[in-house]
Amino acid sequence: MNVPYYAVIFTNQRTEEDRGYTEMAQKMEDLARQQPGFLDFESAREEIGISVSYWESLKDIADWKANTDHLFAQEKGKSDWYAWYKVRICLVEREYGFSK
């Protein structure tokens, strides 16, 4: 990815029941990948979940947040799926990595 770009870091703790979470999470990832400005997505879950989506601009992030299907999923998250969550939006100015 070319820098700079934005990272939306979503940390959360799930409730115990699935209640359709797995299907909705996959649907939201698939839908996000179709949005203008979407760059990539990474996710991991143990005691807490951490999902990071990468975007070209703050406008792209705001548009995704306002997507009607995403708004529905956000409300279901509050009512059914998460004990708590936190969202952080960061500007990525530099990146580097290693891979074999």
Domains, the chain, in order of start with CATH, read 5-92 (3.30.70.100)
- Strands across the sheet containing 49-55: 38-45, 49-55, 5-14, 82-92
How much is the pTM? 0.92
Q: How do residues 28-77 score in pLDDT, each as one tens digit?
A: 999 999 999 999 999 999 899 999 999 999 999 999 999 999 999 999 99
